[in-house]
Amino acid sequence: MKRSDILTNRIFKRYFLPTILMAMALSMGIIVDGIIVGNKLGSEALAIVNLSTPIVLGFNSIYVLMGVGGSVLAAIAIGQRSESNALSYFQQAILMMLLFSVIVLVVGLIFHTRIAEFIAGDTGMEAKLVPYLKILFLGSPLMIVVPGISSFIRTDNNPRLASVILIVANGVNLIFDIIYLFVFNMGVEGAALATVTGYGAGSLVLITYFFREKVTFRIKKPEMISGAKILKIIATGLPAALTTLFLFLKIFLINIIVINTLGKSGMAVFSVCLSCLAFVSMFISGAAQTISPIIGVLYGELDQQGIRFTIFRTFKIVGLASLLLIALFEIFPSQVLQLFGVSSANELALGIQAIRIFSISLLGTALNVVLMYYFQTIQQKKLSLVIASVQGFMLVVPLAFVFSKIWGGSGIWIAFGVSEVCTLLIVFILTRRIRKNSDVKLQGMLLFQSRTSANALLDVSIVDDVKNAARLSEDVVQFCSENGLNERTSMHVGLAVEELAVNSFEHGYRDQTKKVVDVRVSIGASEVLISLKDDGIPFNPANYSAIENDSEFKSMGLQLVKNIAREVNYTRMLGLNSTIIKF
């Protein structure tokens, strides 16, 4: 027997679709916003929306810092069977998001005119940008807190609700885009008001989570702010937040380079390139954010094989999706430009060249973003931070400036692809150095641990046949004996695996789904740990008592296991029944 990827693939599918729908809602909100504004109000209004993008990314960096950082730590805590610690990370993150929201709101309302003048530069668009920014700052608390809490909801076995919250927010946004712009003729500020209205609607859906039974994260009396936990949240969320923040700076500075090199026409073209990136980001973000709760829990459980299955599946999905979309942009660049209202001959000529060059960089972007989230989740924070810094800002802006002097507008778009390739090379070099200096044996560029801290590990799956549980029990007894356990303890471990696996097979599944139980037995210096996972109905195999057709002997076997075990722990996480037994 060997470990199967069936369970991890099922978890991935369960989280991926809602997460990609959530990412799709966010990305399509940006894309369709651009389409509506560009076609209704023209390319100048589209440029105003583009100029405000750094402000929105600034809001996003706050929710990512606290929401994503806190939810990753909460996922690890859940994997370590510490729900109280997970709840504490949630409370600390909420407090900080509320505090940052108030600061952003106050500063924005006082200085929004100066901020608009600074962002607009020499474009002459500050007059129209001022009311747009004022509305965004008024809605900033909703735009920070709603997606931040959604990250925790997704971690707490509720990926569908988390996606519905943001789908509703962006769906309402698009509906009110049409109402405000076409019915009330509000101008470009109507697009900002539609965004805020959408997040208000999303917050109403979010509230329903706290009225559900059996949720991990509840609004309770706030605990005291813990400096240590907040610093840990910030350290974990910083790479992803910096990616967002550096995107803010990257767009702002490249806007300047584009204006100085190509003028206002270049701004409209760059806006379309960003929309292409947003379209690909539906798949990049969907896959990257899917792995955060899954790998976080698996990392907390020290399940290295589960981590392998998950990250390889992620790379397959983002790689294929990126290549297909790149082909689309390469073949139909003029149609993409016209979709956003770019129709003049000069802008089309600039745009076709820009999209064809820029789109090549999207595969590198996909790989680097997934790597950044992956290393963040397995607590390789420095490496994740390097990716965020180098890929997000440190290379592309200087390269765009230098290349624009050499090749003009084409050089700007070339810089994006070159920076992605350089980032991958830097990651390759740094991971080699980490492997060389690590006390734990690590494998490959993804730094897989070749084994856990246990002296020995048996990691297998029982698939679709309860008779395999008995055969596995014999293998477990032999494995324990070969690794220094006495005969009595070896028999107890084998009995525990058989009793719980049989219970999961016979009573945990009620439909025709292929039955799968993942079993891990690790032998350490002072304890033996058994981990069993299945994706049946919520069911604790260790608490099951005999029913009318079960023998008394069977019940005695399970009771014996519970009596001799040092600890028996069950939890429902990621849609799985997860039981841990320690001897």
pLDDT given at position 29: 64
Crossing angle of helices 6-41 and 140-155, in 10° steps, is 160
Yes or no: say if 526 and 583 are a contact pair by the CB < 8 Å rule. no
Residue by residue, DSSP assigns 15-42 as HHHHHHHHHHHHHHHHHHHHHHHHHHH-
Half-sphere exposure of 106 (CA within 13 A, CB side): 6
Report the distance separating Cα 420 and Cα 363, nearest Å.
9
What dihedral angle (degrees, nearest 10) is formed by the CA atoms of 376, 382, 388, 391? Answer: -120
Reported for 247-251, long-range contacts at CB under 8 A and 24+ positions apart, including other chains, are: 247/57, 247/392, 248/53, 248/54, 248/55, 248/57, 248/58, 248/61, 249/54, 249/393, 249/397, 250/392, 250/393, 250/396, 250/397, 251/50, 251/53, 251/54, 251/57
Tell me the backbone φ, ψ of residue 168, rounded to 5 degrees.
-60, -45
Yes or no: say if 75 and 291 are a contact pair by the CB < 8 Å rule. no
DSSP secondary-structure letter at 390? I
pLDDT given at position 556: 61
pLDDT given at position 370: 93
pLDDT given at position 550: 52
Yes or no: say if 506 and 554 are a contact pair by the CB < 8 Å rule. no
What dihedral angle (degrees, nearest 10) is formed by the CA atoms of 241, 242, 244, 250? Answer: 170
Whose tokens are 């997934």? That residue is 370
Helices (H), 208-303: 227-300
Work out the end-to-end distance of the chain between its first and last CA atoms, rounded to an integer number of angstroms: 23
Beta bridge partners of 534: 517, 577
For the chain, the domains span 1-225, 246-453, 456-582
Tell me the backbone φ, ψ of residue 516, rounded to 5 degrees.
-140, 135
pLDDT given at position 289: 82
CA quadruple 568, 574, 575, 576: dihedral sign: negative
Tell me the backbone φ, ψ of residue 580, rounded to 5 degrees.
-120, 135
As given in the structure block, the two tokens for residue 469 are 């549980």
The fold of 456-582 is: Heat Shock Protein 90 (3.30.565)
Report the distance separating Cα 17 and Cα 38, nearest Å.
30
pLDDT given at position 419: 95
Closest CA to 24 of 247, 284, 338: 284
As given in the structure block, the two tokens for residue 485 are 């356990």
Report the distance separating Cα 332 and Cα 335, nearest Å.
5
Report the distance separating Cα 66 and Cα 32, nearest Å.
28
Residue by residue, DSSP assigns 95-159 as HHHHHHHHHHHHHHHHHHHHHHHHHHTTSS-HHHHHHHHHHHHHTHHHHHHHHHHHHHHHHTT-H
Is 0.85 surpassed by the pTM of this model? no
pLDDT given at position 22: 76
Closest CA to 25 of 156, 164, 149: 164
Instruction: Classify residue 485 as left (phi > 0), alpha (psi -120 to 50) or beta.
Output: beta
Mean pLDDT by 10 residues, the chain (583 residues): 87 86 70 75 75 82 90 89 88 93 93 84 76 90 92 88 90 89 85 90 94 83 79 90 78 85 79 77 81 89 90 92 91 85 80 89 92 91 91 89 92 93 96 89 86 72 80 88 88 86 81 83 86 86 59 60 81 86 86
Report the distance separating Cα 102 and Cα 111, nearest Å.
14
Beta bridge partners of 442: 449
